[in-house]
Structure 1
Amino acid sequence: MNYLIYLHTAVVIAFSVRILLRDDLLPTARLAWFIVLVILPGFGSVIYFLFGEADLGKKGKSKARKMQEKIRTIGGRHLGDAEALPTLIHKDYQPLFRYAASMNGFQPVPGNTARLMADPDDTLRHMIADIDAATDHVHALYYIWLEDHTGTALAEALIRAAKRGVTCRAMTDGLGSRGLVGSALWTAMEEAGVQLAVAFPLHRPFHTLLTSRIDLRNHRKITVIDGRVTYCGSRNSADPEFRPKRRYGPWVDIMVRFEGPIVAQNQLLFASDWVAATGDDVESFPLIAEPRPGGFPAQVFADGPTERKGGTPQLFSLALATARESVTISTPYFVPDATLVEALCAAAHRGTRVTLIFPRRNDSLIVAAASRSYYRRLLEAGCALHEFTGGLLHAKTLTVDEEITMIGSSNLDMRSFDLNYENNILLQDSALTERVHERQRDYIAGSHQIDLFEVLQWPYYKRIWQNVIATIGPVL
């Protein structure tokens, strides 16, 4: 028995030293891991071994750096011109776009147009029509790709395109789409000539556990058609009913169809993921999108474990700091870091209208508890909180002053901040921002507004549970 105690003590000390040696951890994250190690004897060490470090290893990091350098080399004018930023972006928001560009080198490019999709059927109808009209290539990447109506319709459109000679590349995540990979539908795509790839496949789980983390995932949702059209938003290749978690549905998403130079930037992002998974030549991806008359400036903002740590919460914090009048955010998963919480409160305290929209019923009880632990502080600062009741609000949206919009795959939780590869488009356009903001108002109309009185009436056991979960929030 004494030997077991000595062994446990040695393991806890070893992991504690490792945690203390990590310069990339904030004090709150270190404390959270110490708590896990102490309150879960033995098991806590296993949890840290499996999930403690978002690290792709030296080989993975080197590969990512080389890919980023290659993307910057071949991207050329499609990456945008930093010197043109003052002529494209209002001076109040230039710091926001500069910061976004500092992450992956994508600068604002002018001449883009966009159409906000009305609903899931409208999205699928336009996407299938674009694929059926494709003459050169179709590239599709989704974290979750199901064999339901939506997923099958997209796959069948790719099959039709491949059979008529269009180069089709389809990519998905090994965990998010584990049911599709190897299925009859997957095989049918391959037999039709669709080129297939899997990000972070699960066929070598023990190797993954020893060299990285099994929950490092590609959470992106990208479709590029003929290098002239791209779709960006929160929707996976799945029906709104979302069969794996049907009782939380419908999933309420948002998608935008873009044309213009922003398509080339999304193409480069897709290419970086494809080449990382397959080793193909990145120069085989056409970059042909040209500015459209009267279009607006936009840029891709991508994040992931091989990018600078803290990029997404810092970007949102800067958006809050640059806002003149209002900021509205919708997200299904809200487990913020200290940077973002302080920015939300600071913006509200100085008079900015800060509106947050979350789902009333979350598919993760842990995330829901952590989210609600912040309600009292946010409400006391003056933020408006709404919980959507019409399903699981999955739309990830940010609007600032009815001028700036960011839309894409990033949630406001630690998974999106540190573990997932994400894609977003940041833009300045009052017309599109007003349409997105109108959609946000629709979400609010279907929500229950949370006030401070309601939060103060929550029973003690509920508040204790929420705060316990929030304490280990940095490791969720």
Structure 2
Amino acid sequence: MTVETPLLAYLLAAVYLALQVFFIARALLRPYRQPVSRLAWVMVMLIAPVVGMAAYVLVGETNIGRTRSERKRRVIEELPRPPRHEGNPPERYVPLFRAGMSINGYPSSGGNRAELLADSDATIARMVEDIDAATANVHVLFYIWLADDNGLRVVEALKRAAARGVTCRVMADDFGSRAMIRSEHWKAMANAGVMLARALPVSNPPISALWGRIDMRNHRKIVVIDNAITYCGSQNCADAAFAVKPKFAPWVDIMTRWEGPVVRQNQHLFATDWMGHGCDDISALIDAPLPPTHGPVVAQVIGTGAMVRPSAMPEIFDSVINAARNELIVTTPYYVPDETIQAALCACAYRGVETTFIVPQRNDSWIVSAASHSYYEELLDAGVRIYEYVGGLLHSKTMTVDGDISLIGSANIDRRSFELNFENNILLYDPDLTAEIRARQQVYLAASVPVTAPDVARWPRRRRLWNNTIAMLGPVL
């Protein structure tokens, strides 16, 4: 053995130790991370250093890349803010809308009209009808867009609109809509004059991972037509049969159609994505004169993602839950909460609020299913009523409070929606619209089975061990 061999070994060991210290320090210094998450990363990198450091490079930080971040931040700073429209909720709900305004700067605005659509097919039919009536511009953004019946109906409507001179701008997530983006239908839209963009493109995963986290996705569902109509809810551009995961079908979604000042807020959110990806400037549409509207709904768009604090969406969920005095109903397909939301739901039930929680019985994500079950016992002990929907995959993301307030949109109650996805929700005050959403929640409830404390107590120990182990990994993601 030469003298150089031990020296080289010492050098490699020093480099290895330096890297380990660097990544542990980086995990400890990362802002907005809960202490349990920091601890989880430190333990992983101490127990399995090579795997831990490699995992941290890939999924340790919420970073879409410096160039994208700077461009998107510049767009957000320079875009004009949507004009405010008079109209406030009752005083007890004003702090709730202030919390929403702290995220994007969108104020609560009155004068909105909203329509709760019957189902997935009815939503697409109404959307196509509006696109066919468009005279100026159509803006579309979806996380998942499939080349099925409903997906292609929207494709054809956009091609018709572009052919008659309507400016059509379309953005789809590069991962969620990868089959559509790589299909002949995407090319056909481009040939018809539709302007296209891939949200968060991933061209070469190993290389892309060096510049930003590749599993961050644009999960938004936004349609804005003629700067006068918008849609918001949980539905992707696809059939309820959802061909990519048919064994969980039907996908049960909820969508709303809007007119009024809230349209400008959704337009602004779309513009941050569109212009943030380097596409053409549409800022003039943000502060264009509003069409006359005299609707009863006070509403506010809430958009979250990598460019706002990662606690933003959990804060809104917490605020809505804490606003409840008599009744809270929650539906979500994916429940992997942070500690504050779990505590807020339990506290809601403890203070005597009738708290109902509805999730799908069969989930398309076995990881989420296992993790969510780990929270059942604590919820049930607090008095939360848990129901599992058996009529398909309940994909609706809703909250209703005391028959007055509703929250509806794309965000799930899980860490992916909190820290990794770009999401869009609408917070609203209107007893009539809330009653309609609550009636839809009752439809879900009628197709659900209750989960009781004795049911959970009968789960075998191995199942509890599995659920709790999977939930424990949540802070690392």
Q: TM-score range by the shorter chain?
A: over 0.9
Match of 2:60 in 1: 52
Instruction: Render the CA deviation track for 1:36-59: whole Å, top value 9, x for unaligned.
Output: 335555223221110000023444
2:71–2:277 contact (8 Å) kept in structure 1: no
Match of 2:27 in 1: 19
AA at the equivalent of 2:390: T
User: Using the alignment, how far apart are the partners of 2:289 and 2:146 within structure 1?
Assistant: 31
Instruction: Render the CA deviation track for 1:183-206: whole Å, top value 9, x for unaligned.
Output: 100010000000101111122434
What is the CA distance between 1:354 and its match in structure 2? 1.5
2:232–2:425 contact (8 Å) kept in structure 1: yes
Match of 1:195 in 2: 195
User: Using the alignment, how far apart are the partners of 1:359 and 1:36 within structure 2?
Assistant: 32
User: Using the alignment, how far apart are the partners of 1:200 and 1:431 within structure 2?
Assistant: 38
The correspondence of residues 119-268 of structure 1 with structure 2, limited to 5 A, is 119-268=119-268
What is the CA distance between 1:12 and its match in structure 2? 3.7
Secondary structure in 2 aligned to 1:387? Answer: strand
2:159–2:194 contact (8 Å) kept in structure 1: yes
What is the CA distance between 1:69 and its match in structure 2? 1.8
Instruction: Render the CA deviation track for 1:77-104: whole Å, top value 9, x for unaligned.
Output: 2xx26xx6xx611111111100000000
1:8–1:41 contact (8 Å) kept in structure 2: no
Match of 2:45 in 1: 37
AA at the equivalent of 1:368: S
Secondary structure in 2 aligned to 1:385? Answer: strand
Task: Pick closer, same or farther for the CA change 1:8–1:353 going to 2, 3 Å.
Answer: farther
What is the CA distance between 1:449 and its match in structure 2? 0.7
% of aligned pairs identical? 47
1:197–1:278 contact (8 Å) kept in structure 2: no
User: Using the alignment, how far apart are the partners of 1:170 and 1:59 within structure 2?
Assistant: 22
1:33–1:472 contact (8 Å) kept in structure 2: no
TM-score w.r.t. the length of structure 1 is 0.94
What is the CA distance between 1:345 and its match in structure 2? 1.1
User: Using the alignment, how far apart are the partners of 1:357 and 1:310 within structure 2?
Assistant: 23
Task: Pick closer, same or farther for the CA change 1:371–1:76 going to 2, 3 Å.
Answer: closer
User: Using the alignment, how far apart are the partners of 1:294 and 1:128 within structure 2?
Assistant: 23
User: Using the alignment, how far apart are the partners of 2:343 and 2:417 within structure 1?
Assistant: 19
AA at the equivalent of 1:463: R
Structure having the higher Rg: 2
1:251–1:393 contact (8 Å) kept in structure 2: yes
The range that moved more, 181-190 or 55-64, is 55-64
Match of 1:275 in 2: 275
User: Using the alignment, how far apart are the partners of 1:234 and 1:180 within structure 2?
Assistant: 19
1:264–1:288 contact (8 Å) kept in structure 2: no
Match of 2:338 in 1: 337
User: Using the alignment, how far apart are the partners of 1:212 and 1:471 within structure 2?
Assistant: 25
AA at the equivalent of 1:231: Y
User: Using the alignment, how far apart are the partners of 2:46 and 2:469 within structure 1?
Assistant: 14
2:312–2:418 contact (8 Å) kept in structure 1: yes
AA at the equivalent of 1:378: L
What is the CA distance between 1:6 and its match in structure 2? 7.6
Match of 2:71 among 63, 68, 85: 63
Task: Pick closer, same or farther for the CA change 1:35–1:454 going to 2, 3 Å.
Answer: farther
1:319–1:400 contact (8 Å) kept in structure 2: yes
Task: Pick closer, same or farther for the CA change 1:238–1:17 going to 2, 3 Å.
Answer: same
The range that moved more, 26-35 or 111-120, is 26-35
Instruction: Render the CA deviation track for 1:234-267: whole Å, top value 9, x for unaligned.
Output: 0001111111111111111001111111111111
User: Using the alignment, how far apart are the partners of 2:72 and 2:278 within structure 1?
Assistant: 13
Task: Pick closer, same or farther for the CA change 1:264–1:16 going to 2, 3 Å.
Answer: same
User: Using the alignment, how far apart are the partners of 1:412 and 1:19 within structure 2?
Assistant: 24
Task: Pick closer, same or farther for the CA change 1:19–1:76 going to 2, 3 Å.
Answer: closer
What is the CA distance between 1:76 and its match in structure 2? 4.7
Match of 1:302 in 2: 303
Secondary structure in 2 aligned to 1:278? Answer: coil
Task: Pick closer, same or farther for the CA change 1:100–1:466 going to 2, 3 Å.
Answer: same
Task: Pick closer, same or farther for the CA change 1:38–1:368 going to 2, 3 Å.
Answer: farther
Any gaps of 5 or more consecutive residues in structure 1?
Answer: none
User: Using the alignment, how far apart are the partners of 1:166 and 1:451 within structure 2?
Assistant: 54
What is the CA distance between 1:211 and its match in structure 2? 1.6
Secondary structure in 2 aligned to 1:405? Answer: strand
1:224–1:267 contact (8 Å) kept in structure 2: yes
1:140–1:224 contact (8 Å) kept in structure 2: yes
The range that moved more, 156-165 or 177-186, is 177-186
1:32–1:474 contact (8 Å) kept in structure 2: yes
1:219–1:422 contact (8 Å) kept in structure 2: yes
Is 1:75 equivalent to 2:76 in the alignment?
no
Instruction: Render the CA deviation track for 1:292-351: whole Å, top value 9, x for unaligned.
Output: 224211110110011012011111111111212111111111110011111111111111
Is 1:430 equivalent to 2:431 in the alignment?
yes
